[in-house]
């Protein structure tokens, strides 16, 4: 049944001038499906990684100790002022080589290209999250913080139970935009041969000369995922909205 539908799809698209015949071939179809799965895996992994580090960086940014906040501010400035592709190439070609040298050769280096994509893209988006959450923390009314301090909360407790929950609510629109950007940034893995969807598609179209067909699918694929991310983000915004405070109030 599945093969019949697939063949019907290939025949129908062939009539309108599109070549999806590779779907009927075992090896190329397998590479392409693997690309989809790798991209989805990257997205599922990168979202929590970026949010966790974003929250950590925001907490460090709002610290009154320069020794804590200054290194994070320097990292954020470098990260947001340089292209993600350059950061990835630098990390893979320079840092990864240094790690290999320290460990006595590439054969002893456990860090794969996939790891570097997760690390670089995750920290890049975390830097963007951090500034958004920091702005949210600074928007928390001083009276609210004073009230928490008056009942005996420590600085860490105020951050954890008062400022962070309110800041995340206020920062949600910016966080959702950052997550949409994160989905698109997974394609930089192509530069260091991580077999995500664009890399897999290139592997196919170099054999089949069907760039148009594959680009149509890639465009629809990322549009569908980012539409889902935006809709989920909007739903979360409405669920967490605090009347009288922040967006959605």
Using a pLDDT cut of 90, give the percent of the chain over it. Answer: 52
Measure the CA–CA gap between 20 and 24, rounded to whole angstroms: 8
Measure the CA–CA gap between 3 and 163, rounded to whole angstroms: 55
Q: What would the mean pLDDT of 98-110 be, rounded to a whole number?
A: 92
Segment 161-211, tens digit of pLDDT: 888 888 888 889 999 999 999 999 999 999 998 999 999 999 888 888 889
Longest dimension (CA), the chain: 74
Segment 34-84, tens digit of pLDDT: 999 999 999 999 999 999 999 999 989 888 888 989 999 999 999 989 999
Q: Is the pLDDT of residue 249 over 50?
A: no
Show the tokens assigned to 63: 């610290």
Nearest C-alpha neighbor of 208 from the set 41, 72, 29? 29
- Cα→Cα distances 85→21, 90, 124, Å: 33, 9, 11
Nearest C-alpha neighbor of 50 from the set 116, 137, 115, 119? 119
- For residue 224, is it left (φ>0), alpha (ψ between -120 and 50) or beta? alpha
Give 242's pLDDT tier (boundaries 50, 70, 90).
low
Q: Is 26 exposed, middle or buried (0-12, 13-18, 19+ CB in 10 A)?
A: exposed
Q: Is the pLDDT of residue 245 over 60?
A: no
Segment 2-16, tens digit of pLDDT: 678 888 888 888 888
């Amino acid at each position: 049944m599945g093969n019949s539908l697939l063949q019907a799809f290939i025949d129908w698209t062939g009539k309108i001038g599109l070549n999806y015949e590779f779907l009927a071939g075992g090896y190329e179809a397998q590479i392409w499906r693997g690309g989809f799965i790798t991209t989805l895996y990257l997205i599922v992994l990168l979202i929590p990684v970026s949010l966790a580090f974003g929250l950590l960086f925001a907490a460090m940014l709002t610290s009154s100790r320069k020794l804590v906040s200054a290194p994070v501010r320097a990292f954020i400035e470098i990260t947001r002022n340089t292209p993600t592709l350059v950061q990835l190439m630098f990390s893979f070609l320079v840092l990864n080589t240094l790690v290999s040298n320290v460990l006595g050769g590439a054969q002893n280096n456990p860090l794969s290209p996939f790891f570097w994509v997760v690390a670089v893209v995750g920290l890049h988006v975390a830097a963007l999250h951090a500034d958004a959450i920091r702005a949210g923390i600074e928007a928390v009314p001083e009276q609210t913080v004073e009230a928490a301090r008056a009942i005996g909360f420590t600085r860490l407790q105020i951050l954890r139970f008062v400022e962070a929950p309110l800041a995340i609510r206020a920062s949600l629109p910016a966080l959702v935009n950052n997550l949409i950007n994160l989905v698109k940034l997974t394609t930089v893995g192509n530069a260091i041969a991580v077999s995500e969807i664009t890399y897999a598609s290139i592997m196919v179209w170099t054999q089949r000369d069907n760039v148009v067909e594959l680009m149509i699918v890639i465009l629809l694929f990322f549009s569908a995922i980012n539409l889902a991310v935006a809709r989920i983000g909007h739903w979360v915004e409405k669920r967490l909205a605090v009347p009288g405070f922040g967006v959605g109030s």
